[in-house]
């Protein structure tokens, strides 16, 4: 498909699901019901899929409409992440809050937290550095940043920490890989002797994998390919480069779309705690404390649930 739907049409579709009718969605979007209906009809024509059932009783999502609405919400969520992340990067002037974050946290969680913080403190300038978990910890110990966010499972000498979320590593392969069809789970010994597409030493993902097999007396063999970001590893796995251990945050959409296949594992602890860290001799205050509150697991906005209209 060479044509891509416009953002406003996707937002309107999600509003139809949220508000329960096309009329209510039009009011929320600040437009008229005829204009909203026209936009939805144009979206259906462009996609070649009927999204709405229209009758005297009102408007209801079709089965295809429910699927498309769910996909649209993911696109809009990721767009929000992009906008918030770029807003942080483009800020000028000296930073009033200096933070560092691992790649996984920076790509998938931090923009939403910073967005909440900036809504309460719109003039706040944030300086963000993105690197692997080991380097984040070094910056915090050196007082180069006030707060860090990591996924490393190791001991945190000289630091204090607080849990901000949970994650797990997924063993994933392309659909054409032989492991995509296997039913017998991969155990620690087999995982350890299999060359993987891997992050570099010092990353939280690499450290989690190493500790998972070390608990069984195993050591990971030399990686098949060593890359500096989860995005690069995902791309290599999608291209059929080999098996990879990746954050569920990174590959959830690929697993759902079957562009990557999750390989079952057995007896391997691949879950991990995502943590905020700060220097042991300090206590987060001001903007740092506010960001930490937004990053608490219970403080995040609930996941939007797409429902069938009545």
Phi, psi dihedral angles at 196 (to 5 degrees): -110, 155
Give CA–CA dist 189/176, Å, rounded: 23
Cβ count within 10 A of residue 30: 6
Give CA–CA dist 134/210, Å, rounded: 14
- Cα-Cα end-to-end distance for the chain: 32
Confidence class of residue 89 from pLDDT cuts 50, 70 and 90? low
Q: What is the mean pLDDT of residues 239-254?
A: 93
Residue that has been written with the tokens 């205050």 in this structure:
285
Whether residue 98 contacts residue 146, with contact meaning beta carbons closer than 8 Å, is answered with yes
In this structure, the answer to whether residues 268 and 290 fall within a common structural domain is no
Three-state SS string over 123-187 comes to CCCEEEEECCHHHHHHHHHCCCCCEEEECCCCCCCCEEEEEEEEEEEEEEECCCCHHHHCCCCEC
Give CA–CA dist 303/231, Å, rounded: 24
Whether residue 226 contacts residue 209, with contact meaning beta carbons closer than 8 Å, is answered with no
pTM of the full structure = 0.69
Residue 107 predicted with pLDDT over 60: yes
Total of domains in the chain: 3
In this structure, the answer to whether residues 265 and 171 fall within a common structural domain is yes
Residue 186 lies in a domain: yes
Residue 2 lies in a domain: no
Residue 279, pLDDT score: 95
In this structure, the answer to whether residues 103 and 155 fall within a common structural domain is yes
Give CA–CA dist 274/136, Å, rounded: 13
In this structure, the answer to whether residues 190 and 256 fall within a common structural domain is yes
The residue out of 77, 107, 135 marking a domain boundary is 77
Q: Which of 4-13, 68-77, 223-232 has the lowest mean pLDDT?
A: 68-77
In this structure, the answer to whether residues 137 and 257 fall within a common structural domain is no
Residue 175 lies in a domain: yes
The residue out of 20, 50, 77 marking a domain boundary is 77
Residue 92 predicted with pLDDT over 70: no
How many Cα atoms sit within 13 Å of 64 on the Cβ side? 8
Residue 86, pLDDT score: 73
Please write the tens of the pLDDT for every residue from 261-295.
Answer: 999 999 999 999 999 999 998 999 999 999 999 99
Residue 55, pLDDT score: 78
Residue 41, pLDDT score: 92
In this structure, the answer to whether residues 253 and 173 fall within a common structural domain is yes
Q: Which of 99-103, 154-158, 169-173, 259-263 has the lowest mean pLDDT?
A: 154-158
Confidence class of residue 2 from pLDDT cuts 50, 70 and 90? low
**Structural domain harbouring 39:** 7-77
Q: What is the mean pLDDT of residues 118-147?
A: 91
Confidence class of residue 307 from pLDDT cuts 50, 70 and 90? very low
State the average pLDDT for the chain: 87
Whether residue 88 contacts residue 128, with contact meaning beta carbons closer than 8 Å, is answered with yes
Residue 191, pLDDT score: 97
């Amino acid at each position: 498909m060479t044509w891509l739907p416009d953002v406003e049409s996707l937002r309107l579709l999600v509003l139809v699901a949220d508000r329960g009718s096309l009329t209510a969605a039009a009011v929320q979007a600040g437009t008229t019901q005829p204009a909203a209906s026209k936009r939805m009809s144009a979206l259906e024509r462009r996609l070649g899929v009927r999204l709405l059932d229209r009758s005297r009783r009102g408007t209801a999502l079709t089965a295809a409409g429910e699927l498309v609405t769910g996909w649209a919400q993911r696109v809009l969520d990721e767009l929000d992440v992009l906008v918030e992340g770029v807003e942080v990067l483009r800020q000028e002037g000296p930073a009033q809050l200096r933070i560092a974050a691992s790649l996984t946290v920076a790509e998938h969680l931090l923009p939403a937290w910073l967005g909440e913080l900036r809504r309460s403190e719109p003039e706040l300038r944030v300086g963000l550095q993105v690197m692997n978990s080991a380097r984040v910890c070094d910056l915090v110990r050196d007082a180069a940043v006030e707060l860090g966010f990591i996924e490393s499972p190791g001991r945190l000498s000289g630091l204090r920490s607080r849990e901000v979320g949970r994650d797990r590593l997924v063993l994933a392969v392309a659909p054409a890989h032989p492991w995509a069809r296997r039913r017998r789970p991969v155990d620690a010994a087999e995982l350890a002797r299999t060359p993987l597409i891997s992050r570099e030493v010092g990353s939280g993902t690499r450290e989690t994998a190493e500790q998972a097999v070390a608990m069984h007396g195993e050591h990971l063999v030399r990686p098949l390919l060593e890359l500096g970001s989860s995005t690069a590893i995902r791309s290599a796995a999608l291209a059929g480069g080999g098996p990879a251990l990746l954050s569920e945050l990174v590959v959830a959409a690929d697993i759902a779309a079957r562009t990557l296949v999750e390989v079952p594992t057995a007896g391997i602890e691949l879950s991990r705690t995502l943590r905020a860290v700060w220097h042991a001799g300090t206590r987060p205050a001001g903007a740092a404390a506010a960001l930490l509150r937004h990053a608490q697991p219970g403080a995040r906005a609930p996941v939007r649930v797409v429902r069938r209209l009545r």
